[in-house]
């Protein structure tokens, strides 16, 4: 998975390794092999923790929880997702917050809280910054569409469904197309929208024509269409060809829904014992995974089966229980803080909140300069612009504070934080420095202004750091720094960071309090 032979003392080499780690994780989170995704994400988490990258470790954990919840179910996913979201919000990490919101969206939708699911899914999509894999965007759009449609926001839901459809078609991702069209088709049927239902059914037929092996996975949609048209024989045939509960790695609500369809097909054919057996299995799945909405539909079907068997007293009691459960769920939904999203204006409010969080994505919470996220996402664009502008048009440097550990050891971490804040502010004021990013505990990346003279910037920065004073910590406290420069004449960002790191360690070995570069 990673190049374990890379041994690094400095931030730039570690950044290169971390980018490899992130590349692996980005592939894992779009994998359709859920069991494999859980295993790989767990491995990524362990490596990220060893590198001290809590953000990537949490991201990997959320990825594993998402896959686990979609396969075996995960009762802890909701609570754990909220804890990680709180951390991401505090850190201003929009990338991680987006994944947390996507996880919470799915967990709320599984539990039947469609309004909360819609809001979380909407925020998850809004927090994406355009650097994510197109398949991840399509996946999140599909989840957002499902939430909006389930919450009754039909116009927005079908609009988002079409956005996801266009992206899935560009990717030629038949599996994603099938899931997207299936969700939209079910919603159109529920809302008595025959034209919309036909549109999505045509998309499904196109999927089956392109990938016949997906027909079994679409059996619930086909069966429901047959049942709606009064064709229980055809519905039962579709379900039996594909298996009673679908693939073992199907989402729990999908498996429970298929058992409900099987019960309805048997009921339509008058085979009441078989219908009851199917309902019992559906109950088992809904109880294990807390699928309240599906459980309510199972209860309603039990009442109908009881009436068909002549047990009208039982049918009456089941109908009462069904309506009481439905009302309880409605009250809980109305009381839920986020389920006000049933009103369109609250979707807009969710978007505004997401945009506020997005604005903080690239800022280090302590020093208020750029952070690693900015280096990973934006620095490559800066370097590409320089490299297309002619020879030697830009440069960067890595600065490390000399013996900074002694500051923390002597004066405590609060004093160390004060020192870091002052250094960051000082670096931003230095002539020739365009951007400053904190890439390690006491390590900063300096992006120079175009055509700035490296040696002059080095002299100014070293002098500015030496001039800093902290009388409230210790009047005698002095700091120096070592700097390594790299010219952005050619090569990818990772290579430039390695060059800067090599020069930084030349400066360290030469006695510190100096700069080294390609001059």
Give the percent of the chain with pLDDT over 90: 34
CA dist 88 and 86 (Å) reads: 5
Residue with tokens 């004449």: 489
Position 315 scores a pLDDT of 61
pLDDT digits (tens, 9 = 90+) for 22-51: 888 999 999 988 999 999 999 999 999 988
Whole-number pLDDT of residue 330 = 42
**What pLDDT does residue 322 have?**
53
Please, what CATH class does the domain formed by 372-516 belong to? alpha beta
Q: Choose between 60 and 306: higher pLDDT.
A: 60
DSSP conformation class of 336: S
pLDDT of 335 above 60:
no
The pLDDT of residue 352 is 61
Q: Is the pLDDT reported for residue 110 higher than 50?
A: yes
Residue 57 has pLDDT above 80, yes or no: yes
Structure token digits, residue 208: 């089956």
Tell me the mean pLDDT in the region 468-478.
92
Task: Give residue 13's pLDDT band: very low, low, confident or very high (50, 70, 90).
Answer: low
How much is the pLDDT for 413?
87
Q: Residue 417, CB half-sphere, CA atoms under 13 Å: how many?
A: 8
69 within 8 A of 62, measured Cβ to Cβ = no
Instruction: Calculate the average pLDDT of the chain.
Output: 82
Contact 96, 58 (CB under 8 A): yes
- 7-21, 286-300, 330-344, 388-402: the lowest-pLDDT one: 330-344
Contact 17, 8 (CB under 8 A): yes
Which of these, 352, 344, 360, lies nearest to 126 by C-alpha position?
Answer: 352
The residue that leads in pLDDT, 364 or 161, is: 161
Note whether 332 and 294 are within 8 A (CB): no
Sheet with 395-401, side-by-side order of all strands: 433-438, 443-448, 395-401, 481-487, 515-516
484, 504 contact by CB (below 8 A): yes
* 275-297 mean pLDDT: 85
Angle, alpha carbons 396-388-382 (nearest 5°): 40
Q: What is the dihedral of CA 365, 367, 373, 374, to 10 degrees?
A: 130
Q: What pLDDT does residue 290 have?
A: 79
The more confidently predicted of residues 401 and 151 is 401
Instruction: Please report, for the chain, the start and end positions of each structural domain, with discontinuous segments joined by +.
Output: 372-516
The span from the CA of 167 to the CA of 169, in Å, is 5
Residues facing 483 on adjacent strands: 399, 515
The mean per-residue pLDDT over the stretch 384-399 comes to 77
- pLDDT for 128 equals 83
**Distance between CA atoms of residues 500 and 484, nearest Å:** 5
pLDDT of residue 343: 42
Q: Summarize the confidence of residues 483-511 as an average pLDDT.
A: 88
pLDDT value of position 219: 79
The whole-number pLDDT of residue 61 equals 96
| pLDDT score of 37 | 93
SS3 label, residue 2: coil
């Amino acid at each position: 998975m990673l190049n374990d032979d890379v041994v690094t003392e400095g931030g730039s080499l570690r950044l290169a390794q971390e980018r490899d780690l992130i590349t692996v994780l980005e592939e894992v989170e779009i994998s359709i092999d859920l069991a494999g995704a859980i295993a790989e994400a767990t491995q990524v988490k362990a490596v990220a923790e060893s590198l001290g990258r809590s953000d990537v470790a949490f991201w990997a954990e959320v990825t594993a929880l998402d896959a686990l919840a979609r396969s075996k179910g995960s009762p802890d996913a909701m609570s754990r997702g909220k804890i990680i979201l709180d951390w991401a919000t505090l850190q201003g990490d929009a990338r991680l917050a987006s994944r947390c919101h996507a996880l919470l969206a799915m967990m709320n939708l599984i539990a039947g809280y469609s309004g909360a699911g819609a809001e979380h899914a909407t925020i998850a999509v809004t927090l994406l910054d355009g650097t994510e894999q197109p398949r991840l965007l399509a996946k999140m759009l599909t989840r957002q569409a499902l939430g909006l449609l389930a919450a009754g926001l039909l116009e927005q839901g079908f609009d988002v469904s079409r956005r996801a459809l266009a992206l899935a078609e560009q990717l030629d991702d038949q599996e994603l197309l099938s899931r997207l069209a299936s969700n939209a088709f079910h919603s159109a049927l529920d809302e008595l929208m025959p034209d919309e239902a036909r549109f999505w059914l045509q998309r499904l037929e196109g999927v089956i024509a392109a990938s016949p092996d997906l027909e079994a996975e679409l059996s619930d949609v086909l069966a429901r269409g047959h049942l709606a048209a009064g064709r229980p024989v055809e519905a039962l045939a579709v379900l039996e060809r594909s298996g009673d509960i679908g693939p073992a790695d199907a989402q729990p609500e999908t498996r429970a829904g298929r058992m409900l369809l099987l019960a309805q097909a048997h009921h339509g054919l008058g085979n009441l014992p078989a219908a009851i057996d199917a309902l019992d299995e559906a109950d088992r799945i809904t109880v294990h995974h807390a699928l309240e909405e599906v459980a309510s539909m199972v209860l309603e079907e039990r009442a109908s089966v009881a009436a068909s068997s002549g047990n009208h007293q039982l049918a009456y009691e089941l109908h009462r229980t069904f309506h009481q459960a439905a009302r309880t769920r409605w009250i809980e939904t109305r009381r839920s803080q986020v389920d006000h999203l049933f009103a369109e204006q609250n979707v807009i409010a969710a978007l505004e909140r997401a945009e506020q969080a997005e604005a903080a994505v690239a800022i280090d919470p302590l020093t208020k300069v750029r952070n690693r996220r900015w280096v990973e996402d934006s620095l490559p664009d800066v370097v590409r612009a320089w490299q297309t502008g002619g020879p030697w048009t830009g440069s960067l440097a890595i600065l490390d504070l000399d013996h900074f550990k002694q500051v923390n050891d002597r004066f405590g971490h609060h004093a160390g934080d004060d020192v870091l804040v002052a250094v960051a502010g000082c670096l931003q004021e230095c002539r020739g420095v365009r951007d400053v990013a904190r890439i390690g505990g006491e390590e900063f990346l300096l992006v120079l202004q175009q055509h700035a003279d490296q040696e002059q910037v080095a002299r100014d920065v070293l002098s500015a750091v030496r001039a800093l004073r902290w009388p409230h910590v210790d009047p005698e406290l002095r700091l120096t720094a070592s700097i390594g420069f790299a010219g952005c004449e050619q090569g990818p960002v990772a290579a430039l960071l390695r060059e800067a790191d090599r020069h930084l360690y030349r400066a360290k070995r030469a006695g510190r309090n100096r700069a080294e570069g390609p001059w």
